């Protein structure tokens, strides 16, 4: 078939027509020497994006049986998808069309009409050259599995499971401990704004256990995972019986492996032994859950209690977000126990980020708690050397000291990151696909992170995040709906690849694997996003990204610079 290139120039009303000489463009293009052997159809239109304009283009493609098309108009941001839509209605493959922006790049920025016209001619010429090297690409459709694997059976994992199961999704929860519930299960009570009562959490554990759509694997961890959105092949391993494995298929994976607490004993400014009356807040919650009250190791009730905020915060480099609030809660529980215990609250900054928190703080303030704002603190047993905000140094003694240690990434997060090919941010918590606008996703499509695995947060936020992941999965992975992977992806040319595996290092999506048998690297097209990183890295030049191949780019640049 002979090449037949349609070139359509949009006037964009006066926007382009007034600022570049369209007649001159047409004349100049029609006389291009390197296109003398090609059949060119060159026309202008008042407004290509209008209903009229789209009909015009459709008829042009059909009646002329175009093999290639170039539209010289506005920014592709505005109307690339419009013209692709027109192509899709015809027999012209959308990848055989090219858009050239002669409005923002010429008409609107160059005041000299002659210069604007010359630039427009060059750009169109470059586009014509590029389009000749373009190749038709076809979308693929892949089947997908709508089931979901959840790693971690704390509140975040359970809520994700319940939300998905209520929509009849099959869910698998992997929990490395013997029981569900995670760390919130040890709490004595919740914050006032959360209704104090813990029943709602216990209820969730029994809801999960009783739900037919949810399968729970306790004492189990993830062993391996390969695949991509819609098609993950998963192997689980029982951590009590090494050789007991389970194989599963799932379409998405949700990480909810929670947090750990920093060990205050490892911190430079905290010196105490097992005998000292120094406890972490978690130990206090456990003590309260078990005995209903706070007491010293010998069973006596302490006369004074010091609460210490931000333990390990300088070391980890972030605020743990929950501890100001739960220390207020602990001071409330102490007051509930007795009005006589002296409470000293040693804080650097009060972090009260939820709208209801200030009320709680004010309520506690009225209960005879001494709040002391400090800039630094050293702990030796039950003795605290503090520097007040005024700069004054003094010693505070208390019968019992409660520490709020920083939340840190759960043990094993690094291994999960590796298995699932996702990133950890500098804090060690998992990294979002985009912190601001895609906070629940990761750089691996189909892998989500919820709850404290994501960063320090409370139960309420963990639940919101769990539902957010469920929302994403319910709208991305629909039973029966095919997955259409990116078309403009990279491919490795078998004949040239030397098997050096440089590309494996640069691909941040984990899209490239090494084929041991053939000794070459291969791109998994379902995962590749077509970013092109690997193309530049390959020492033997054996990778190309479809629709952005070297000949296509060289040709375009060559004409533009001629």
Ligand X SMILES: Cc1cc2nc3c(=O)[nH]c(=O)nc-3n(C[C@H](O)[C@H](O)[C@H](O)COP(=O)(O)OP(=O)(O)OC[C@H]3O[C@@H](n4cnc5c(N)ncnc54)[C@H](O)[C@@H]3O)c2cc1C
Contact residues toward ligand SF4 (CB under 6 A) are 309-310, 313, 319-321, 323-324, 349, 351, 404, 489-490, 506-507, 509, 511-512, 523, 528-534, 545
Q: Determine how β-strand 512-515 pairs with β-strand 520-523.
A: antiparallel
Q: How far is the CB of 184 from another protein (least distance, A)?
A: 10
- Nearest alpha-carbon partner for 330 in 307, 359, 354: 307
Question: Segment 337-366, which members bind another protein (CB under 8 A)?
Answer: 349-359
- Pick the closer one to ligand SF4 by CB: 173 or 406: 406
Residue with tokens 């978690």: 282
Closest to ligand SF4 by CB, 128 vs 534, is 534
Residues 507, 486: Cα–Cα separation, whole Å: 16
CA 148 to chain centroid, in Å, comes to 17
Q: Which is nearer to ligand X, 320 or 552 (CB)?
A: 320
Regarding 459 and contact with ligand X (CB under 6 A), the answer is yes
Contacts with 531 (C-beta within 8 Å, 6 or more apart), sequence order:
508, 509
Tokens of 386: 């503090």
Q: Could you say whether residue 319 binds ligand X (CB under 6 A)?
A: no
Q: CB under 5 to 8 A by kind: which of another protein, ligand X, ligand SF4, none does 532 bind? A: ligand SF4
Among ligand SF4, another protein, ligand X, none, the one that 152 touches (CB under a kind-dependent 5 to 8 A) is: ligand X
Distance in angstroms between the alpha carbons of the first and the last residue of the chain: 29
**Residue pair 175/216 in contact by the 8 Å Cβ criterion:** yes
Q: Does 177 bind ligand X (CB under 6 A)?
A: yes
Residue 15 touches which member of ligand X, ligand SF4, another protein, none, C-beta under 5-8 Å by kind = another protein
Please choose, from the candidates 168, 192, 95, the residue with its C-alpha nearest in 3D space to the C-alpha of residue 137: 95
Residue 209, both tokens: 């256990």
Binding residue (CB under 6 A) for ligand X from 6, 146, 152, 455: 152
Residue 475 CB neighbours (<10 A): 8
Q: What is the 3-state secondary structure (H, E, C) of 304-332?
A: EEEEEEEECHHHHCCCCCCHHHHHHHHHH
- Which string of x and - marks every residue 74-113 that binds ligand X (by CB under 6 A)? ----------------------------------------
3-state secondary structure string across 169-213: CCEEEECCCCCCCHHHHHCCCCCHHHCCCCHHHHHHHHHHHHCCC
Per DSSP, the three-state class of 404 is: strand
Mask of contacts with another protein, 469-498, x by CB under 8 A? xxxx-xxx-x--------------------
Query: Which residues contact residue 526 at a Cβ distance below 8 angstroms, ignoring those fewer than 6 apart?
Result: 142, 228, 229, 231, 483, 485
Query: For the window 194-233, what string marks contact with ligand X as x by the rule CB under 6 A?
Result: x--------------------------x------------
Which of 44, 93, 425, 524 is close enough to bind another protein by CB under 8 A? 425
Q: Which residues bind another protein (CB under 8 A)?
A: 12-15, 50, 77, 81, 159, 163, 166-167, 190, 193-195, 200, 313, 317-319, 321, 349-359, 389-391, 425-427, 429, 432, 434-440, 455-456, 459-472, 474-476, 478
Q: Which residues bind ligand X (CB under 6 A)?
A: 151-157, 174-177, 182-184, 187, 190-191, 194, 221, 256-259, 281-282, 285, 322, 326, 329, 410, 412, 416, 436, 451-453, 457-460, 462
């Amino acid at each position: 078939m002979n090449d037949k290139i349609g070139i359509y120039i949009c006037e964009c009303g006066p926007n382009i027509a007034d600022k570049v000489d369209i007649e001159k463009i047409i004349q100049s293009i029609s006389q291009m020497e390197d296109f003398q052997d090609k059949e060119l159809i060159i026309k202008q239109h008042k407004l290509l994006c209008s209903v009229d304009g789209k009909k015009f283009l459709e008829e042009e493609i059909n009646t002329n049986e175009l093999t290639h098309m170039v539209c010289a108009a506005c920014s592709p941001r505005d109307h690339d998808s419009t013209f692709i839509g027109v192509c899709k209605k015809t027999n012209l493959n959308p990848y055989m069309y090219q858009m050239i922006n002669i409005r923002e790049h010429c008409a609107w920025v160059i005041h000299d009409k002659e210069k604007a016209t010359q630039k427009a001619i060059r750009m169109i010429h470059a586009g014509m050259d590029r389009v000749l090297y373009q190749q038709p690409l076809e979308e693929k459709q892949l089947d997908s599995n709508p089931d979901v694997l959840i790693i971690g059976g704390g509140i975040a994992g359970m809520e994700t499971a319940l939300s998905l199961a209520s929509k009849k999704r099959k869910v698998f929860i992997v929990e490395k401990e013997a029981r569900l519930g995670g760390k919130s299960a040890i709490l004595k009570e919740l914050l006032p704004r959360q209704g104090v009562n813990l029943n709602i959490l216990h209820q969730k554990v029994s809801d999960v256990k009783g739900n037919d759509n949810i399968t729970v694997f306790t004492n189990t961890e993830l062993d391996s995972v390969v695949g991509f959105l819609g098609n993950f092949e998963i192997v689980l391993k029982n951590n009590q019986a090494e050789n007991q494995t389970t194989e599963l298929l799932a379409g998405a994976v949700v990480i909810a492996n929670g947090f750990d607490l920093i060990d205050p004993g490892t911190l430079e400014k905290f010196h105490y032994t097992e005998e000292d009356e120094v406890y972490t807040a978690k130990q206090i919650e456990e003590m309260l859950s078990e005995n209903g009250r706070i007491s010293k190791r010998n069973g006596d009730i302490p006369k004074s209690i010091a609460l210490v905020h931000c333990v390990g915060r300088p070391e980890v480099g972030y605020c743990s977000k929950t501890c100001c609030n739960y220390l207020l809660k602990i001071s409330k529980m102490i007051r509930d126990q007795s009005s006589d215990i002296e409470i000293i609250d040693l804080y650097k900054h009060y972090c009260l980020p939820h709208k209801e928190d200030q009320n709680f703080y004010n309520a506690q303030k009225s209960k005879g708690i001494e709040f002391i704002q400090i800039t630094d603190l050293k702990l030796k047993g039950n003795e605290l050397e503090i520097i007040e905000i005024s700069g004054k140094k003094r010693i505070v003694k208390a019968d019992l000291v409660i520490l709020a240690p920083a939340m840190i990434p759960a043990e094993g997060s690094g291994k999960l990151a590796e298995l699932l090919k996702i990133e950890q941010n500098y804090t060690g918590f998992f990294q979002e696909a985009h912190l601001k606008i895609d906070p629940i996703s990761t750089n691996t499509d189909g892998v989500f992170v919820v709850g404290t695995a994501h960063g320090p947060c409370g139960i309420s936020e963990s639940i919101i995040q769990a539902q957010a992941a469920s929302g994403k999965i319910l709208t991305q992975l629909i039973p029966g709906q095919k997955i259409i992977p990116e078309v403009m992806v990279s491919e490795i040319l078998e004949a040239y690849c030397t098997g050096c595996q440089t590309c494996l290092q640069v691909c941040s999506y984990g899209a490239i694997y090494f084929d041991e048998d053939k000794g070459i690297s291969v791109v998994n097209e379902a995962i590749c996003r077509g970013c092109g990183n690997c193309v530049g890295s390959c020492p033997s030049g054996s990778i190309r990204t479809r629709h952005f191949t070297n000949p296509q780019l060289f040709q375009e640049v060559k004409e533009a610079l001629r």
